A and B are shown apart, each in its own frame.
Chain A
Amino acid sequence: MARRPARAVLLVPLLLLMLIVGGCGERAGSGAPVTLVFKHAKILGPADPLPDLLQRFEARHPGVRVQSEALTWSSDEQHQFYVINLEGGSPPFDVMMLDVIWVPEFARAGWILDLTPFVPAAERDAHFPAAIEPAVQSGRLWALPWIMNVGLLYYRRDLLAKYGFTPPETYEALAAQVRRIRSGEGDPRLDGYLWQGKQYEGGMVNVLEALWANGARLLDDVGRPFPDRERARESLAFLRGLIESGVSPAWVTAADEELTRRPFGDGRAIFLRNWPYALDLFELPDSRVRGKVGVAPLPRLRHGPVGAASTGGAHLAVSARTRHQALAVDLARFLTSEAAQRAMTEGAALRPSRPSLYQDAALVARDPSLPALLGLMEKGHPRPITPYYLMLSTTLQPEFSAVLVGRKSPDGAIRDGAAQVEHLLRAITP
């Protein structure tokens, strides 16, 4: 039995084969034509305006091809994909679509190109301040806003009108309206207020909005956690109270955007906190709540303002290692230009990052909610702008989640969360 030599003979070419197959995933774009790789998440909505836009770009730049590649669905996976490829040194893409909260992190890590020399100041000012702020670090611009989001309160116009209510300005009023409407309707399957309480970034957004609604911040000016402890405690207690009092069903602690949008779209809830994309889906011809849905700013708690919603959205950035800097920047600027954003607003359930488009006559005729959204977007503000936001978020999410499921007191969560964040910051800031 010729075991040992046979094995050795097998091993060597196999190892070589593996190295070749496994080692090189991407092949570099060959000479001409120039190929730009554009990585983005799948665009949802009635139509996909992207292929058309990319064709227009190619027409303007003869000899250039844009290869559009979709990312996986989950935001966490997209982030992991980017981190692994960008850390590796030679990422196989040139232009990338980033969640706004990743921009400071990627800038600090040196993975994206400084766009300041390429983008005139006027172009910066054409976008919402809340969109530009996260893209600026040390006075330099690192990404261009592409899609804008803000947290909204959806409500059933028909139900509120039936009981003579206007959209609530305080959460107390919201809870009272829920109780009144539910007892009036007598439908046990009608839920009150749906929001995202699952342990993920979306849950963090909901908690932040509750903090801001009470005038509390997550970090102070020098980055220390929970400067307004008492107000933060009230906010967390309020969220847990929504579940305990039955204003919100217990399953919101495991719900994300889609799991809450669907019941509301089936007519089984009175209020919903979600992003603007849901509105388009509620107004589809076969939607059960078509024509019955209104949007309003998020209510406030005792110490905060009305409409303290979180902004969100996507930006376009250029890989620092791209071999076609000017072209890639051109692509990013083209896709975020007014014309392109207009095309995207018409085609998909997306909202632009340029205030001017919200008052554009043609667009408003198609979508009358735009002017109202404009006001809401201007009132919203971004999540803490720091390269370490994701680290902060993943550290605090379990603490907040523990409060929402009733496993921890708000005080305990704040105390432990602060200790963990401080430990984290000790590593980051010497």
Chain B
Amino acid sequence: MRAGRARDGLVLLALAVYAAPFFWLAMTSLRPDTELLPLTHLWPSRLTLAHYDVVFRQSLMPRALVNSLGIALLSTLLAVGLGALAAYALARLPVRGRSVILLGMIAATAFPQIATVSPLYLLMRALGLRDTWLALILANGSFTLPLVIWLLAGFIREIPRALEEAAVVDGAGRLATLRWVVLPLVAPGMASAALLAFLFSWNEFLFAYSLTATEASRTVPVALALFPGVFEVPWGDIAAASLLASLPPILIVVGFQRYLVRGLLAGALRE
């Protein structure tokens, strides 16, 4: 038993070492400027909130955080909203060409963003949507839609048909069954899909970089990549900004781990 506990401790330590780069970043965000370059001591002599102050008062991060939050929430809404309906249709209703559509969904999850970014750029330009939230909501939402549909179709298929048939016997139509029987049961699966879609949109860089121009729609990854430094790179400020950029992902990993894991595994194990 004691060996087991010691072993557990060792494994946790190993993983803490694995996550050390992130903790180093966190420490950098609290380290005073004078102790950043060159690095002479591992631990700082004191901690400072100056970098966070700069990030909140003088950088574009606050606006970028708002943009990212809004765009991620809305694109998740789009993907899960449309995806749930489509998944139900594909899983339970007669659809001609269902296997072709499903195959298309799987193929679409492998599309490289770099290939679709130039047409999307021209499209958004033509629609006058450059530098708007809508452009990114559409781009992100549509990119995660195939995965969401595929995941949810799988989750819906796991629900025993008997439950739906019981509802039909009770006189409920298809839509009512969907609303009152299927959706509540697939809610955890939808949560998983939503988390994955949110994470994707929050972390997304290529579309955001290409389709935005000013802080009107710049998201957090772009603001971080373009973090201004007049002469020298302000590593402390960048570290603070990075920490802020990582808050939602951390929250999801710590608070919603079960749903996240379920979504990841479902995507992989259902071939």
Contacts and interface: CB of A to CB of B under 8 A. Distances in A.
Check whether chain A touches chain B (CB < 8 angstroms): yes
Contact of B77 (A7, A72, A84): A7
A22 B216 contact: yes
Given A81-B214, A85-B213, A73 B74 contact: no
Interface string A60-81: 0000000000001110010011
Interface in B92-136: 125, 128-134
B81 interface: yes
Contacts of B78: 11
B81 A18 contact: no
A4 B179 contact: yes
Interface string B154-194: 00000000000000000000000001000110010000000
A3 interface: yes
Contacts of B131: 22, 25, 84, 88
Contact of A23 (B81, B132, B137): B132
Contacts, number: 64
Interface string A90-115: 00000000000000000000000000
Interface in B216-239: 216-217, 226, 228-232
B77 A1 contact: no
B74 A7 contact: no
Nearest to A87: B125
A221 interface: no
A21 interface: yes
Q: Assign chain B's interface to a size class.
A: 20 to 34
Contacts of A11: 77-78, 81
A80 B130 CA distance: 13
Contacts of B231: 258
A365 interface: no
A122 interface: no
Q: Assign chain A's interface to a size class.
A: 20 to 34
Contacts of A28: none
Tell which of A22, A85, A87, A258 has the most Cβ of chain B within 10 Å. Answer: A22
B70 interface: yes
Nearest to B187: A1
A85 B46 CA distance: 45
B77 A25 contact: no
Contacts of A15: 74, 134
Contacts of A74: 228
A80 B213 contact: yes
Contacts of B130: 84, 88
Interface of B: 70, 74, 77-78, 81, 84-85, 125, 128-134, 137, 179, 183-184, 187, 213-214, 216-217, 226, 228-232
7 contacts: A10-B77, A11-B78, A14-B74, A18-B132, A18-B134, A23-B132, A88-B125
Interface pairs A-B: 4 shortest CB-CB:
A22-B133, A22-B132, A84-B213, A18-B133
Given A23-B128, A25-B216, 18 more contacts: A7-B77, A10-B77, A11-B77, A14-B74, A18-B132, A18-B133, A22-B131, A22-B132, A22-B217, A72-B226, A72-B228, A73-B228, A77-B226, A84-B130, A87-B125, A88-B125, A258-B231, A258-B232
